[in-house]
Amino acid sequence: MTTPSTGSIESRIAEQLGVRERQVRAAVELLDGGATVPFIARYRKEATEMLDDAQLRTLEERLRYLRELEERRTAVLESVAEQGKLTDELRAAIEAAETKARLEDIYLPFKPKRRTKAQIAKEAGLEPLADSLLGDPSAEPLSAAAAFADPERGVADAQAALDGARAILAERFSEDADLIGTLRERMWGRGRLAAKVREGQEEAGAKFSDYFDFAEPFTELPSHRVLAMLRGEKEGVLDLNLEPEEPQADPSAPSSYEVEVASRFGIADRGRPGDKWLLDTARWAWRTRIMVHLGIDVRNRLRTAAEDEAVRVFAANLRDLLLAAPAGTRATLGLDPGFRTGVKVAVVDATGKVVATDTIYPHVPRNQWDGSLEKLAALARAHQVELVAIGNGTASRETDKLAGDLIAAHPELKLTKVMVSEAGASVYSASEFASQELPELDVSLRGAVSIARRLQDPLAELVKIDPKSIGVGQYQHDLSEVKLSRSLDAVVEDCVNGVGVDVNTASAPLLARVSGIGSGLAENIVAHRDSNGPFTSRKALKDVSRLGPKAYEQCAGFLRIRGGDDPLDASAVHPEAYPVVRRMAKAAGGVDVLIGSAATLRSLNAQEFVDEKFGLPTVTDILRELEKPGRDPRPAFRTATFREGVEKLSDLEAGMVLEGVVTNVAAFGAFVDVGVHQDGLVHVSAMSRNFVKDPREVVKPGDIVKVKVMEVDAARKRISLTLRLDDEPGAAGGGRERRGGGEGRSGGGRPGQQGQGGGGRQGERRGGARAPQQRQGRGGGRDQSAPPPANDAMADALRRAGLLDPKRR
């Protein structure tokens, strides 16, 4: 038994990626050998001929899919062979199947299943009747069936025999692989998804009101809309119907699908006695079997496509959060806001070490405002604090005002206050790692520590939390757990390795994300560091228990040792390439002369240092890295400046131009914090004069932007913003979105069209979270009437923008 070779898999991937087969073959060999994508992308450019990390991730995913396809193909061939039905023609069809769907279509007639009506009819000897009626429509069906009546075999009369023949033909029609493939694509291209509200659910399901009478072609449905409708169905609010094509003017006329089924088997109305019965059989096969089967396929296809897009958005938002600009090694005071339980305070030094904690009660019911200011000033003075990080949860606005008063009262302290996302902080605080890292602190105080550290280095702190708990995805709880986790883990791995890790200060969770290092090795590295002191060289990593040659090869280039024995250990140059650097140093007059000297490095001819192991791409990377060794690829830290006098919703006026921070990006637009404790929405139609397919083409979480206020709806707490600063409030255009069964109004485009209904088109969207990066000023916080559901910060953003029912959990 033969199946397509690995070589054919590689050629298919090469064709799909638009690269050479030898590039794919090299990458596959490296992946199979245990190399990670970051390692291959960075240190094996010659082998793969410069495949980048995005191409390698796609390659890895396609390789997984095609190998699963081959495994399934082998199983199908074995199953059919065991049944004694594997002909040369069937084997060729199975081996030629290029997708899982096509393979399953071919296998369907041979797939073991419970006894069907068709099988029972065959056992009763009715297959010859079915064959004769299909082959000779000139015979009168009922008369022909009379000869097959046999009560002893369960065929009571001629009509029963005819019914059995119809069941056999219907099954045959519905298991024709070529027909099913054709009809599936026709249904996808012509069909639409329709939704109706269930009787009596109008009030309870108001957030899905845009879908109460809705229909849209499958090919035009965006992912967030599909997921919203599926959730509406799951919650018992909506009834969904997959319509194969536009409703016909004459419902009694056969559909194009019924005509296709009939045509496939030579059935037509030529006035013969059996024609009508056969046409009815084709129609019955379509309506009772094929349409049901294809409906399931199309629904799965819609869900899969929607999930893929939602996962892509989630991954992109997560990448932006992880690669947010770090404030760096600056002493920071973290404030975890609260009313009755007080504001938790933690001071961390420049290295992130906790040096002081406290709890203050400036808000109701205790109202110890002045005393709280004195405590904070004393802590800031004692520990040379430069930054104040304020969590954006309950009481954040009030705590932000406290920080503002602190800055105003003590200008000599030169403090800067920044609003920071709390998303996932409670998950970290109660985690086993937090209890190991901060055993002496109460759970509530750990949150303040995390908030402070997030400002210093978002990446180093956020890797301690399950990416799904950061809550930057659309409908993340409706997505495939495996698909989401795989994608997010890849993003974290790429980000951590792209930035690099200081092996002497990194936590175990951060080290665990380094290429070649899992959680076990990470713990061993930390234990070795604790027992023997800081690592002084990369070579010393080889002394770590269970860190063998393969793991060392994978991780060494991504680990940094600052102030160690070899200055190259603080760079991204891999130890295996140190001989190349030594040759460069010899030509330049020494390593010290070489490192950091742009003029010296640019005077060297890269081609002169190419050898049989290291090609021009690697040598060029080395020269670039030596110019700025260990450079951080993340952007420089900066904060937004909110406008003075604009502190609450009522301070906003149409036409104002404000600076703000993008807190979230979803498929329909971006949320922006302008400092009034209520995020505004820039609809995708208000982002540019040109068509914008993906809002991320224009902005990403953490971006500091200038926006114009188009409309303020204080009653519903909605702010419509635009990035097009020449837009005039009250002017026509933008924002209106017409689809199928209704009109969704979205904030930010056309004035006055500010997110209707909290769920259907827009209100029921979920997506990103408030970025942990910089936000200076008064705003931030969260609508006190709208606590977010756990692990779902897009719902929080929607509430802050007034687009989701505050009571929704």
Given a cut of 70, is residue 602 above it in pLDDT? yes
Say what the pTM is: 0.77
pLDDT category, 714, cuts 50, 70, 90?
confident
Measuring CA to CA, which residue among 353, 521, 510 is closest to residue 438?
353
Identify the H or E element spanning 23. Answer: helix 21-32
| Mean pLDDT (the chain, rounded) | 86
**Terminal alpha carbon distance of the chain:** 55
For residues 804 and 795, the answer to whether their CB atoms sit within 8 Å is: yes
pLDDT number for residue 787: 32
Q: How confident is the model at residue 701 (pLDDT cuts 50, 70, 90)?
A: confident
Contacts of 608 (CB under 8 A, 6+ apart): 587
CA 344 to chain centre: 33
494 CB-near residues (< 8 Å, 6+ apart) = 37, 38, 53, 57, 319
Q: Is the pLDDT of residue 733 over 50?
A: no
pLDDT, residue 337, reads 94
Confidence band for 474, pLDDT divided at 50, 70 and 90: low
Question: Looking at the predicted structure, is the pLDDT value of residue 744 above 50?
Answer: no
Pair of tokens at residue 13: 């991937």
Distance (Å) of CA 288 to CA 37, 106, 134, 166, 279? 48, 20, 19, 12, 14
Q: Do residues 44 and 29 lie in contact, with contact meaning Cβ atoms separated by under 8 Å?
A: no
Alpha carbons 147 and 125: distance in angstroms, whole number: 11
Query: pLDDT digits over 77-109, tens only?
Result: 999 999 999 999 999 999 999 999 999 999 999
Mean pLDDT of 785-799: 42
Of the pLDDT bands very low, low, confident and very high (cuts 50, 70, 90), residue 176 is very high
Tokens of 28: 């596959």
Q: Are 30 and 47 in contact (CB under 8 A)?
A: yes
> Which has the closest alpha carbon to 48: 67, 71, 8, 21?
21
The amino acid at 703: D
Q: What is the pLDDT of residues 15-52, one digit of tens each?
A: 999 999 999 999 999 999 999 999 999 999 999 999 99
pLDDT-based confidence at 785, cuts 50/70/90? Answer: very low
Residue 3: CB partners within 8 Å, gap ≥ 6?
Answer: 70, 73, 74, 77, 95
pLDDT band, residue 763 (cuts 50/70/90):
very low
pLDDT value for 798: 52
Residues 6+ apart with CB under 8 A from 622: 573, 577, 580, 581, 584
Domains of the chain by range and CATH?
Answer: 6-110 (1.10.10.650), 117-309 (1.10.3500.10), 332-456 (3.30.420.140), 649-800 (2.40.50.140)
Express each pLDDT in 242-297 by its tens digit.
999 877 777 778 889 999 999 999 999 999 999 999 999 999 999 999 999 999 99
